[in-house]
A and B are shown apart, each in its own frame.
Chain A
Amino acid sequence: MKNLTATQKIRYSRNILVPEIGMTGQQKLLKGRVLVVGAGGLGSPALLYLVCAGVGTIGIVDGDRVELSNLQRQILHTSEDLDDLKTHSAQDKLHRLNPDVSIELYNKPFTAKNGRKLVSGYDFVIEATDNFKAKFLVNDICIQSKVPFCHAGILGMFGQVMTIVPGQGACYRCVFGNIPEPDQVSSTDQVGVLGVVAGTLGTIQAAEAVKFLIGRGKLLLGRLLTFDALNLIFREIELPSPCCEVCRAAKLIQ
């Protein structure tokens, strides 16, 4: 593996000092490739932490522009970025934070057509989208392409997160089945979402990506972690083995 430069040794010294990371772990991070789908509430903190940790290559998928109502939670973007593409606004901040990291931008929504190609060059995907259609789509494409990823969802003062390594535990579809009817569930457009919930969950997603890249610790596999900010309760729900048609079609069920 490539040796670190003198500047990198200083920049990443507090990573390297962590026994579970060390010099080898830092080299793995610098070689790592992570795709973040959505540069909004979850994507902002995830991107900031992945970039400052020194993950070598980071892809960002988002076709949206920065809106005023985004700014109470999407901490990558500022009042000066209104109407700019989120990818451009993100790249601007992230490059200034750590020019070491190579950032690849995809100014488009994640779709059934482009999804496979988007995830194919990456080691790990962070699903930070803001709607069920995209959440199921990222899941299905990652399962079909056998790319590990971390899902999170947020609403009001509540959030949930789980990591999926295809075949090792339930996927998002194994648990949630299908896109719910819009009139049966609430959305952030109706009931809002608190910024710190996005911050907490997006940060957990970044932690999962880092652990995956360095190959240390226990990922959030087969477990759904829920976060209730109002009562400050984290809970873990044990999930079934892979059981959906997408896992079955990908031959991930024994």
Chain B
Amino acid sequence: MAIHITLNGKPHAVERRMDILSLLETLKVGPASVVVERNRNILHRDMFGSIVLKDGDELELIRFVGGG
């Protein structure tokens, strides 16, 4: 059974009880390379492993972009 979230504005299906860290792993995104915003709250990086995704979550992976 999958749940449905919105990932960077697009519908995305994930396994039930998946946490943020595992999601980043499946997306091959390094946890220290992005900021994660869930339902308009910025998540602490050390909480990624303990925050479980819920149906309807709106997730934004925000890149660090340092050039100018």
State the A residues within 8 Å of B (CB): 38, 40-43, 128-132, 135, 152-155, 158-160, 174-177, 180-181, 184-185, 187-188, 193, 198, 224, 235, 237-240, 243
Chain A positions within 8 Å of B40 at CB level: 238-240
Q: Is the CB of B64 within 8 A of A40?
A: no
Contact B33 A185 (CB under 8 A): yes
Indicate if B11 sits at the interface (CB-CB under 8 A).
no
A43 and B63 form a contact (CB under 8 A) = no
Check A180/B68 contact, CB under 8 A, given A175-B42, A237-B37, A243-B42: no
What are 11 residue pairs bridging A and B, where the CB atoms are less than 8 Å apart in the complex? A130-B68, A135-B68, A154-B68, A158-B63, A159-B65, A160-B65, A180-B33, A181-B32, A184-B64, A185-B33, A198-B68
Is A41 in contact with B42, judged by CB distance below 8 angstroms? no
| Known interface pairs A175-B42, A184-B33, A240-B42; A132-B68 also in contact (CB < 8 Å) | no
Q: Which A residues are CB-close (under 8 A) to B8? A: 235
Minimal beta-carbon separation of B9 from chain A (angstroms): 6
Contact with A along B43-68 (1 / 0, CB 8 A): 00100000000000000101111111
**A235-B9, A239-B40 given; A177·B66 CB < 8 A:** no
Additional A-B contacts beyond A185-B63, A235-B9 (12; CB < 8 A): A42-B68, A131-B68, A135-B66, A154-B68, A155-B66, A174-B42, A175-B42, A177-B35, A184-B33, A187-B66, A193-B67, A243-B42
Binding site for A on B (CB under 8 A): 8-9, 30, 32-33, 35, 37, 40-42, 45, 60, 62-68
Name, among A130, A180, A181, the residue most crowded by chain B CB atoms within 10 Å (CB to CB).
A180
A180 near B67 with CB under 8 A, answer no
Q: Report chain B residues within 8 Å CB of A243.
A: 42
B60–A237 touching, CB < 8 Å: yes
Q: Select one of A132, A224, A239 contacting B66, CB under 8 A.
A: A132
Give chain B residues whose Cβ lies under 8 Å from the Cβ of A239. 37, 40
Q: Is the CB of B64 within 8 A of A176?
A: yes
State the Cβ distance, A37 to closest chain B Cβ, in Å.
9
